[in-house]
A and B are shown apart, each in its own frame.
Chain A
Amino acid sequence: MSYLSARGLVRSYGRTPALRGVNLDVEEGEIVAVTGPSGCGKSTLLHCLAGILRPDAGEVTYRGRRIDTLSEGARAALRRTEFGVLFQFGQLVAELTAAENVALPLLLAGTGRREARTAALSWLDRLGVADFADQRPGEMSGGQQQRCAVARALVTEPRVLFCDEPTGALDSLAGEQVLGHLVRLAREQRTTVVLVTHDVQVAAYGDREIMLRDGAADPTGLGTVAAQQ
């Protein structure tokens, strides 16, 4: 049994199918890129794997345990403790400073304020944005905000990090800095990473690429999965 795996995932939005039977296996410590054209179901797959969305059919197992059948509360706890999530943009709380944003998951877990701040500062430092600890997101550039978001995703030392187009809103150099830090830190921590992107350059940061097409895996890359079915 793989560390994280999906079997026959199906999920629709209204009558539009987003996933139609996706199988996928991720091993511990792996960095896996999920690629495909826009609308192929990448984000939906990520959300199902991270326990954010429930699939209509199929199952998701994490370390041998079904997670798609858990209650919303249990999945929220899982996301809070075992998983980290990183989106394209807009995930930082605008009113909180960078350090407070990073400390937030720790505070939610019941860590004391001083301790949480110390941890947050050390993570901001590791991502090279320690100078912005007391700035608000609005006072930082997109790349700095995103590095802050990486710090927040990693501060709880999650076992799996889910990233949805983490550099989609950044220019290539800022994106490279975010990804460089992310991959280096993930390898240091032996964090498993699922990285959803449409960009081949971003996908190249992964150890392995899973191609998705029209809501199903496309292992040959021939791009005619739907046509052949």
Chain B
Amino acid sequence: MKPGTLVRLALAGTRSDTVRVALTGLSAGLATLAYLAALTVIVIPTVEDGGGRVSPQYRHALIAEAGLRPGVVVVLVLLTVPVLALAGQCALLGAPSRDRRLSAIRLAGASPGQAIAIAATETGLASVLGTVVGLGAYFGGREFLHRPDADGRLPLPTDVVPPVWWIAAVCVGIPVVAMLFAVLQLRRVAVTPFGVVRRVRTRAPLPWPGALIVVGLIATATVVPLSRQLEGDPEESGALLLVVLLCGLGCATIGVVTGTGWISYRTGWLMHRFGRRPATLLAARRLMADPWSGSRTLAALLACLVFGGGAAGVRSSFATDFEAERLAAQRSDPSGVIIEPRDTDFYFGAFNLVNIAIGVGLVIAAGGLIVALAESIVSRRRAYAALVATGVPRSTLAKAVMWQSLVPAAAGIVVALAVGAALSQSLFGDEVEREGIVLEVPVPVDDLALLGAGAVAAVLAVVGVGLLFLRASTALEELRV
């Protein structure tokens, strides 16, 4: 197959394919931007300044203080998680029609490898374009935001550039990963030229993700005792502890996400067992037929909430620590004059930044959710239209869609927040001690409730948009297709 033919076939598609390509490009661009920003923060040079290591040319402490920069890097990298999840959802947009087209190309005599090459080319081209745009935005942004203030200090690290080969690695890596992802998703089409896969029973998920959550909690709980054991070499032990912490966090998050499959199946079973109305029957059977769809579509949202719950816990733990410190100071100096007030504003400012990042992540995740829900409705439009034609009221179908989206989401949200808060507890303990003053760290109920409410509101908004698609998909003209 000549490259020209490959590109021509890769670009043959309908409107939903165009949307998919655009969104794939967009998410590749956003990911590029986030990774380049993270790399830039990593390469900031530091000077020794008394006890601390700083980069005095920056205005904001988060960037100026070397000790805080790893946190910034982690947040930037974590921000790419919902972005990549969105890209994953977008890859499903219009997928049935693309699969049919690829099947047709296979039937016309293309080898499985060629069919995959065509699809991967589409994704690859889109992500290359997106990466190029992201790169342009990065360098453009550097020029635009390079605004030293009166003291010559910079708002952002626009004075350093990561090594060229790092940038090149990002620009090559993102499209390659995207293409690999596309290939992975297409293995089914590759096997058979008839893109149709019969719906058969999936086995009921088992509750093993719960074990994963426990492992994650145990791993984080070992971090502090481990750090006491390893006090010898801070550099080495720091890296080890970071690995343990990330493993714990990763295990718990994967546990929550995959656990949603089990929750979906179980709630589906309960609804089927005790539900009375047709809407609950439809929703229950749908949850049981594809319990993993909740895991797939809610992954980014739940990951955000685990981090959010964790951040709320850490914030509560810090606040309690400051309070203990204040009480201790007060006791040692009963006059009430605090000798050296700590700059707590700085910490809370940092937490607010993290919260903003989580909020952005939630919005992006909700975007992915809309794409997934719309796709699932549009791909089933024939069955929906046929049901409406036989007199099933649209409200019944709407209720079914609502049940099947809300139930696993609500359960997943609760579990994710609880696991997040538990992670921070197992990391920092449930009480703080400062010079004999012991305070219990309260569970940050308000913050968690706010996050949960925000997430539920996001899911509700998504369902609302999904119902608009339902209305369009049950237009009885669909019967003519």
Please name all residues of chain A whose beta carbon is closer than 8 Å to the beta carbon of B383 when the two chains form the complex: 90-94
Residue from A84, A100, A137 having most chain B Cβ neighbours under 10 A:
A100
Contacts of B434 in A (CB 8 A): none
A37 → chain B, closest Cβ, in Å?
Answer: 16
Note all chain B residues with C-beta closer than 8 A to A43. 479-480
Say how far A5's CB is from chain B's closest CB, in angstroms.
21
Q: Provide the A12-24 mask, 1 if CB < 8 A to any CB of B, else 0.
A: 0100000000000
- Asked if A79 is an interface residue, CB under 8 A from chain B, the answer is yes
**C-beta contact mask, B266-304 vs A, less than 8 Å → 1, else 0?**
000000000011100110011011100000000000000
Query: In the complex, which range does the number of interface residues on chain A fall in?
Result: 35 or more
Q: Are B479 and A47 in contact (CB under 8 A)?
A: yes
Contact with A along B420-458 (1 / 0, CB 8 A): 000000000000000000000000000000000000000
CB within 8 Å of B: which A76-91 residues? 76-81, 83-85, 87, 90-91
Q: Do A53 and B476 contact each other (CB < 8 Å), given the known contacts A96-B281, A108-B278, A138-B199? A: yes
Closest to B200 in A: A138
Give the CA-CA distance A21 to B282 in the complex, in Å. Answer: 40
- Knowing A47-B476, A94-B289, A95-B199, the reply to whether A107 touches B393 (Cβ < 8 A) is no
Is B57 an interface residue when CB atoms closer than 8 A count as contact?
A: no
**Interface contact B391-A100, CB-CB below 8 Å:** no
Instruction: Report how far A152 CA is from B393 CA in the complex, Å.
Output: 16
**B198 in complex: contacting residue of A53, A76, A96, A138, CB < 8 Å:** A138
How long is the Cα–Cα vector from A84 to B199 in the complex, in angstroms? 26
CA distance A47 to B201 in the complex (A): 34
Q: Which of A87, A93, A96, A100 gathers most chain B CB within 10 Å?
A: A93
Rounded to whole angstroms, the CA-CA distance of A107 and B5 in the bound complex is: 53
Q: Is the CB of B199 within 8 A of A94?
A: yes
Q: In the assembly, what is the distance between CA of A77 and CA of B391, in Å?
A: 6
B200, B290, B476: the one contacting A52 at CB < 8 Å is: B476
Contact B396 A108 (CB under 8 A): yes
Query: How distant is B153 from chain A, measured CB to nearest CB, in Å?
Result: 61
| B-side interface size class | 20 to 34
Cβ–Cβ contact B390 & A79, under 8 A: yes
As a 0/1 sequence over residues 178 to 218 of chain A, the CB contacts with chain B under 8 angstroms (1 = contact) are: 00000000000000000000000000000000000000000
Closest to B477 in A: A13
**B199 → A minimal CB distance (Å):** 4
Query: Is the CB–CB distance between B286 and A95 below 8 Å?
Result: yes
Q: Any chain A CB within 8 A of the CB of B22?
A: no
Q: CB of A34 within 8 A of chain B?
A: no
CB neighbours of B391 from chain A (8 A): 76-81, 83, 85, 105, 108
Q: Within 8 Å of chain A (Cβ to Cβ): is B326?
A: no
For the complex, what is the distance from the CA of A3 to the CA of B348, rounded to whole Å?
77
B247 CB–A CB distance under 8 Å: no
Name the residue among B201, B389, B480 with the largest chain A CB count within 10 angstroms: B389
A153 and B281 form a contact (CB under 8 A): no
| Nearest Cβ on chain A to B364's Cβ, whole angstroms | 29
- Minimum Cβ distance to chain A for residue B129 (Å): 35
Nearest to A50 among chain B residues (CB) is B389
How far is A77 from B394 in the complex, measured between Cα atoms in Å?
12
In A120-144, which residues have CB < 8 Å from any B CB? 136-139
With known contacts A90-B383, A95-B289, A108-B396, A52–B480 Cβ distance under 8 A: no
Task: Please tell me which one of the listed residues B200, B285, B290, B396 contacts residue A139 in the complex, with CB atoms under 8 A apart.
Answer: B200
Asked whether, in the complex, the Cβ of B389 is within 8 Å of the Cβ of A96, the reply is: no
Contact of B479 among A52, A83, A94, A97 (CB under 8 A): A52
Say yes or no: is B357 at the interface (Cβ < 8 Å to chain A). Answer: no
Contact status A136-B476, CB under 8 Å: no
For B285, the closest partner residue in chain A by CB is A95
Which A residues are in CB contact (< 8 Å) with B480? 13, 43
Which residues of B have CB within 8 Å of A13?
A: 477, 480
Across the interface, which residues of A come within 8 angstroms of B281, CB to CB? 96, 100, 104, 107
With A104-B278, A136-B199 in contact, do A96 and B285 touch (Cβ < 8 Å)? yes
Min distance, Cβ A133 to any Cβ of chain B, angstroms: 14
**B387 CB-CB contact with A under 8 Å:** yes
Interface flag for B204 (CB, 8 Å): no
Q: Which residues of A contact B277 (CB under 8 A)?
A: 107
Contact assessment for B390 and A73 in the assembled complex, using a CB-CB cutoff below 8 Å: no
CA distance A61 to B285 in the complex (A): 38
Q: Mark B455-481, 1 if CB is under 8 A from A, else 0.
A: 000000000000000000000110110
A113: Cβ under 8 A from any B Cβ: yes
Is B382 an interface residue, CB under 8 A from the partner? yes
Q: Which residue of A lies closest to B400 (CB)?
A: A93
Chain A residues lying within 8 Å of B388, measured Cβ to Cβ, are: 76
Determine if B390 and A80 form an interchain contact, defined as CB atoms under 8 angstroms apart: yes
Residue from B200, B282, B382, B390 within 8 A of A105 (CB atoms):
B390
List residues of A (37-77) whose CB comes within 8 Å of B's CBs.
Answer: 43, 47, 50, 52-53, 73, 76-77
Residue of B277, B285, B382 ringed by the most chain A CB atoms within 10 A: B285
Enumerate B361-402 residues with CB–CB distance to A below 8 Å.
380, 382-383, 386-393, 396
Shortest distance between the CB of B205 and any CB in chain A (Å): 16
A118 to chain B, nearest CB (A): 16
Chain A residue numbers with a CB within 8 Å of B201 are: 136, 139
Given A53-B476, A136-B199: A93 and B282 interface contact (C-beta under 8 Å): yes
Name the residue among B200, B289, B479, B480 with the largest chain A CB count within 10 angstroms: B479
- Are A100's CB and B386's CB within 8 A? no
CB–CB A80/B289 < 8 A: no
The answer on a CB contact under 8 Å between A90 and B390 is: no
Q: Using known A-B contacts A104-B278, A136-B199, A136-B200, determine if residue A93 contacts B387 with beta carbons closer than 8 Å.
A: yes
| Contact call A73/B393, Cβ cutoff below 8 A | yes
Name 14 extra pairs, CB < 8 A, besides A52-B476, A78-B391: A43-B480, A50-B389, A85-B386, A92-B383, A94-B199, A95-B199, A95-B285, A107-B281, A108-B391, A108-B392, A108-B393, A136-B199, A138-B198, A138-B200
10 of the cross-chain contacts (CB-CB < 8 Å) are A43-B479, A47-B389, A50-B389, A87-B479, A90-B382, A95-B289, A100-B285, A104-B392, A138-B200, A139-B198
Q: Which 5 A-B pairs have the closest CB atoms?
A: A80-B391, A79-B391, A138-B199, A91-B386, A95-B289
